[in-house]
Amino acid sequence: MNIKIKKIKFIIFIFIFSLFFYTLHSQTETPTPTETPTITPTRTPISQGVGSAVINPTRVAAGTIGNTMTITFTNGPDTWGNGTLKVIIPAGWSAPSLSGLNPGYYTVSVVGGSYVGTMVNGQTIIIYVNNLQANTGTVTIVYGSKALGGPGATSQSGTGTAIFIIENNPVGTNTYEIASSPQVDVVMPTPTVTFTFTNTITPTITPTRTVTPTVTITNTPETGEGSAAIFPSSVMAGGTGNTLRIEYTAGPSNWASAPGYGTLRITIPSGWSQPSISGTSPGYFTADSYGGTVNGYITIGYDMVIYVSGLPASTGKIIVTYGDKSAGGPGATAQSNTGTAYFIIKSAISGTNVNEIQNSPFILVAVATPTVTRTITPTYTHTPDSTPVRPSGLTSTLSGNSITLQWNTGLLTDYYRVYIATGPTGKLNPFPTGWQMVATVLPTPTITSFTHVDTINDYVFYVISGVNGAGQSKPSTVASKIRQILSYTGNRTNAYILSLPYVSKFSKASDIVMDIEGTTATVTKINRVGLWHPNVQAFSMYNYVVDNWYGINWNVDAGTSSSNAIYINLTATAGTFTWVINGTDKNAALVFNRNTGISNENLRHLPYSSIYKKASDIVMDIEGTLTTNAKISKIGKWHPDVQAYSFYYFVSGTGWVGIDFDLKPGDAVNIFPSSTVTSFTWTPKIFGE
Check pLDDT > 60 for residue 579: yes
Could you tell me the end-to-end alpha-carbon distance of the chain, in angstroms, rounded to an integer?
Answer: 135
pLDDT value at position 366? 80
pLDDT in tens, 40-75: 444 444 568 999 999 999 989 899 898 999 999 999
CA distance 300 to 316: 25
Q: What pLDDT sits at residue 378?
A: 53
- pLDDT at 35 > cutoff 80: no
What's residue 356's pLDDT?
93
> E strands, 517-559, where?
526-533, 538-545, 548-551
Say what the pTM is.
Answer: 0.52
Query: Average of pLDDT values for 298-318?
Result: 92
Q: Report whether pLDDT(211) > 80.
A: no
What is the per-residue pLDDT across 244-298, written as a single tens digit (0 to 9) for each? 889 899 999 999 998 899 999 999 999 999 999 988 899 999 998 888 889 999 9
Q: How many residues belong to the chain?
A: 689
**Model confidence at 346: pLDDT above 60:** yes
> Does 333 have pLDDT greater than 80?
yes
| CA-based nearest residue to 461, from 416, 524, 396, 514 | 396
- Does the pLDDT value for residue 224 go beyond 50? yes
Which structural domains are found in the chain, ordered by start?
52-187 (2.60.40.740), 227-366 (2.60.40.740), 395-476 (2.60.40.10), 486-682 (no CATH)
Q: What is the pLDDT of residue 534?
A: 93
163-178 mean pLDDT: 94
pLDDT at 381 over 90: no
Instruction: For CA atoms 498, 501, 503, 505, give the dihedral sign.
Output: negative
CB atoms closer than 10 angstroms to residue 237: 16
- In this structure, of 29-43, 94-108, 122-136, 240-254, the range with the lowest mean pLDDT score is 29-43
Question: Does 173 score more than 60 pLDDT?
Answer: yes
Of the ranges 16-25, 45-54, 294-303, which one carries the lowest mean pLDDT score? 16-25
Q: For residue range 521-530, what is the model confidence (pLDDT) as tens digits?
A: 888 999 999 9
- The alpha carbon of 243 is separated from its chain's Cα centroid by a whole number of angstroms, namely 12
**pLDDT at position 369, please?**
46
Q: Chain-centre distance of CA 646, in angstroms? A: 16
Res 605: pLDDT: 96
3-state SS assignment for residue 514: helix
Whether the per-residue pLDDT at 215 is higher than 90: the answer is no
Q: H helices of 604-661, where?
A: 615-623
The set of residues, in sequence order, having a beta carbon less than 8 Å from that of 303 and lying 6+ positions away, is 265, 266, 267, 268, 275
Calpha distance 126→24 (Å, rounded): 61
Residue type, 414: D
| pLDDT of the residue at 8 | 53
pLDDT band at 374 (very low <50, low <70, confident <90, very high): very low
Query: Is pLDDT of 317 > 60?
Result: yes
CB contact at 8 A, 190 and 216: no
* Residue 10 exposed, middle or buried by CB count within 10 Å (0-12, 13-18, 19+): exposed
Ordered DSSP codes for 130-185: ESPPTTT-EEEEEET--TTS---BPPPSS-EEEE-EEEEETTSS--EE-SS--EEE
Q: What is the pLDDT of residues 462-494, one digit of tens each?
A: 999 999 988 999 999 999 999 999 999 888 899
Question: Which among 286, 282, 284 has a CA at the least distance from the CA of 296?
Answer: 286
pLDDT of residue 457: 85
